[in-house]
Each structure stands twice: as C-alpha cells, then as structure tokens.
Chains A and B, each alone.
Chain A
Amino acid sequence: QSALTQPPSASGSPGQSVTISCTGTSSDVGGYNFVSWYQQHPGKAPKLMIYGVTKRPSGVPDRFSGSKSGNTASLTVSGLQAEDEADYYCCSYAGTNNYIFGTGTKVTVL
C-alpha cells in the first residue's frame, strides 16, 4: 500500500493558522475513524497530537484540531507558535493490524 498523501510543506506567521491535509482511500482514511497525527521535532521521537480523527491527548494544546471528510483527514494548528515548527505525520488504520503513515509535512513558522 502507498503512503497517505500530505503536502511536503506548510507555513504561517505566528498567530496564524495552518491546515495540513492527509489523503488516502476508502480502505484506510475513508474506511475507519482511526486517523492519528504525530509531531516530530528534529532528532526527536514522534509525539501523538491527535487520535480518533478529532481527539486530543491530555497535554496537547487545544490549538491543535483534527477533522475528516471522505478519504481526506486534516490537522489544523491555530495560533501558530514557534515551537509548532516541526514535521507532522498522519497515520491511518488500514485493517488487519495494518497501519499507513502519511508522507509527512514540514511546518515552518515564518
């Protein structure tokens, strides 16, 4: 299976919003409400930011939100802050213990 499609980059000024898309198929993103998003700073392990399409783990700022429409999921970061600059990966369950990651998006805070 191919990786989920994300834009290579996204950017915004401090305080602005940025939205990252994650496009799959009806066999993964569209077929399950098991989309999660991970933030990765350089040299660090990925960190869970969103799970179950829209849910935020405790400790994740409410500036981060998730949504899904059809085969495309989205992560929105509102009120961008310098520490939000990182790589972001979506991930979807694809059945039978299989998971697929997105291609990754580098978010730059201008």
Chain B
Amino acid sequence: EVQLVESGGALVQPGGSLRLSCSASGFTFNNFALHWVRQAPGKGLEYVSAVSWSGDSTYYADSVKGRFTISRDNSKSTLYLQMNSLRPEDTAVYCCVKDHSGSYFDYWGQGTLVTVSS
C-alpha cells in the first residue's frame, strides 16, 4: 500500500523559514517524480513544485520561485520542501503527491498545515 506522510508544518512568522518532509513507502521511491501541492484554508488546490526521480530536475510555480526549494533523498525515501521568506499567503495544507508517468497524480498524502502569521 502506497503511503505518503508529511510532517514539519507549524506556525511561523512572516519572513521565516520551514522545512517540510514527506516519508514515502509502498512503492519504488526512486522510480517516480514527486510533487508538492497546497490548499489554502477553504480554497482550491494549487500546484507548487516538482522534482524528478533522480532529483536532477526541479520545477516551481511562479508564486514560490526563488523562495522554496524541493529536494529528495532516495536513500531515505523522503521528499523535502525548504520554504524561506514565508508570506501570509503561503498559509495552506501542503500535500506530498506521487507522480504517474508525468501526466497525473495517483497518490496523495494527507498534508501538513503551514500557518504564516505574526
């Protein structure tokens, strides 16, 4: 059974930093690209970032480019999202998502809540 378990969410002040982790199991981790998708309270889904199976290729939405860094450790089956210069509009539940063939997302984690507020 595929499992994606996020952690690291917290209350942080504007301008602060946070590192999210996603521990994966139930599939061959280093065979698949992974993504972060976020959902602000009461709002829709927003695509955030992607990393290739090897970690060599990354992608960021314009809203987080230059502030967030996605990475992965295939030896630990773990995905990361380093979030710097956080803004109130970054407040959301951040979900770790498994890619399938580069065209859709087949498994989602439950998410971890990041709240940016003073």
B105 near A91 with CB under 8 A, answer yes
The B contact surface, by secondary structure, is: strand
A52 near B106 with CB under 8 A, answer no
Q: Given the known A-B contacts A45-B95, A97-B57, are A52 and B104 also in contact in the complex, defined by CB atoms under 8 Å?
A: yes
CB distance from B60 to the nearest CB of A (A): 9
Complex Cα spacing A32 to B101, Å: 14
Using CB atoms, name the residue of chain A closest to B100.
A51
Query: Please, how many residues of chain B have a CB less than 8 angstroms from a CB on the other chain?
Result: 22
A48 near B106 with CB under 8 A, answer yes
Chain A CB within 8 A of B73 CB: no
B residues engaging A (CB < 8 A)? 35, 37, 44-47, 50, 57, 59, 61, 95, 100, 102-111
26 interchain pairs (CB within 8 A)? Answer: A32-B103, A36-B104, A38-B45, A45-B95, A45-B108, A45-B111, A46-B45, A46-B95, A48-B104, A48-B106, A51-B104, A52-B103, A52-B104, A57-B106, A89-B45, A91-B45, A96-B59, A97-B57, A97-B102, A98-B59, A98-B61, A99-B47, A100-B47, A101-B47, A102-B44, A103-B44
